[in-house]
Amino acid sequence: MSEVNPPSALADLSADAALALFASGELSPLELTHDCLARIERFNPRVNAFCHVDADGAVAAARASQARWLRGEPIGPLDGVPVTIKDLTLTSGMPTRKGSKTTSAEGPWRVDAPIAARMRAAGAVVLGKTTTPEFGWKGVTDNPLHGITRNPWQPELTPGGSSGGAGAAAALNLGLLHQGSDAGGSIRIPCSFTGTFGLKPTFGWVPQWPASAMSTLSHLGPMTRSAADSALLLSVIAHPDTRDGYAGPACPIDWLAAPPSELTGMRIAYSRDLGYVSVAPDILRAVDAAVEELRALGAEMIEVDPGFASPKATFDTLWHAGASRLLDGLSAAQCDLLDPGLRAIAEHGKRLTLTDYLIAREARAALVAHMADFHRRFDLLVTPTLPLAPFAAGHEVPPGSDYVDWVDWTPFSYPFNLTQQPAASMPCGLDDQGLPVGLQLVGPRYRDDRVMAVACLLETRLPRLTPPMAHA
C-alpha cells in the first residue's frame, strides 16, 4: 500500500502497532499520550477538532496503563491506546454540550454512555471530546457554541459532519481510535472528506444510550486511519447494554478475524450514481479505479443500480420529526440560541401529522424489503460515498450550488440509515484538486463481516492518505 504525504514516527502509528510496542516495552502509553496531546495543542487551533481536551485525565490514565504494562498485566485490548469520544456521547468527568448553547456547562458529568464505558474498561486513554454540529443535525460541522471545524487537507474547507471533529482528528492521528455516530451519513461523510475509514455498523450492534432524538436512524461506530483499527474498536464496543431499548441481537461477528487473501466467488454490485445522482467526473474516476482493484482481487463486479427512487422525502420526514423532539422543554429564549437551520427543521417537524409520519415509516419498510431482496443477488453494493469534493467551511451546502440542504448532497449515505444496513467509507484516492475521495461499501443487514473483510483487503491495494497539514 503506497502512502500519499507520509508522516513519520508516532504521528503515523496505528493502534495495533502501538499495542505491540507497549507489549515489547519499546513505547509507553505515557509517551504516546504526551505525543498526542502535543499534536492536539499544535493542530487543534487550526482545525477545531476538539471541543474539550482532558490532558490531566489522559496523562493519569496513561500513567496507570504504563504501570500495568510494566507488570505484564494489561486490563483489556485497548490498554494505553489514546481515543476520542464525540460530543454527543455522555462521558464521565467531561462536558457533553452537544454543540449547543442551550446546554449547561455545570453538569454534573457522572455517567459514561455504554460506548465510553466499554472503551475505558478496555484500558483506553480518553483524550477528550470531538466537535459536532448542534445536536448532530447536519452533514457539516459548525455550531453556535464551539464555532467552525475545518478540514486538515485545506482548512478553508469543511471536514463534513456530523462527526467532523472525529474525522479531522483521525486524519491527523490526534488519538488512534475515534467514536463517531451516523444517522444520515455522519460517520461516512467526514471519512470521505478527510481520507479516513469509518463504519456505520448494522443498527443495534453498538449500544446507544441515552437514545438519539433520531431514534432508529442513528448508529454508533468507529472512525480511524485504517479498517484494521476500526475492527479493533468494534471488538470492544459491539456488545449489548441493557439500557439500550432499541438493541438488536448480540453481535456474533469476530471483528478481528483475518481478512481473505482474495475475493473469488464474491458477487459485488457497483452503482456509480444509484440511477439518479449527479457525480463529479474526477470522483467517479477514483472510484472506478478502486472497483478495478476489487475485480483484480477476484470479485465478480456487476455494474447495476439498486433500483430505488430517491428516498429523500421519507428521510426528511423522519429526520425533521426527530429534530422536533429537541424543542420539547426548551424555553423561547433557548430556542433563540439554536442554529437557525436546526430550529427551522425542528419547527417543520412539529407541523408534521401522524399520517405523514406513518407514511414515511411504511416507505422505509418497503425500502428495507427492497434492499433485502437486492442482497439475495449481490454480496455487497459499492458506490461513491459522496458525489462532490469538500467545500467551504461554515456552509451547509456548497456556496453558489443548487442544493437546498445537506441531504441534497449526501444521496449515497442516508438511504442506508433508513435500511439500517452496515456501510463503510474508505479512502480510494484523490480528486483533481488533490482532495480525498471516498468509496462506500454497503452490506446486507447483519453482514458487517463482509464489509470489513473487503475493506481490510482492498485497503492494501489503495493509497493511504495523509493531509499535507501533518507535515506543516
Domains in the chain, ordered, with CATH? Answer: 3-313+352-471 (3.90.1300.10)
Give the pLDDT of residue 378.
98
Q: Which tens digit of pLDDT belongs to each residue from 438-452?
A: 999 999 999 999 999
pLDDT value at 420 more than 60: yes
What are the DSSP calls for 355-376, one per residue?
A: HHHHHHHHHHHHHHHHHHHHHH
Give the pLDDT of residue 467.
96
Average pLDDT of span 331-335: 96
Give the pLDDT of residue 329.
85
More confident residue, 182 or 470: 182
Distances 92 to 109, 112, 126, 325 between C-alpha atoms, Å = 5, 5, 11, 25
pLDDT value at 7 more than 50: no
What are the DSSP calls for 151-213, one per residue?
A: BTTBTTB---SSSHHHHHHHHTTSSSEEEEEESSSTTHHHHHHHT-EEEEPSTTSS--SSPPT
CB 266 within 8 A of CB 300: yes
Q: Which tens digit of pLDDT belongs to each residue from 393-416?
A: 999 999 999 999 999 999 999 999
Which sequence positions are flagged as catalytic? 86, 162, 186
386 Cα distance to chain centroid: 14
Give the pLDDT of residue 1.
54
Give the pLDDT of residue 220.
98
Binned at pLDDT 50, 70 and 90, residue 4 comes out as low
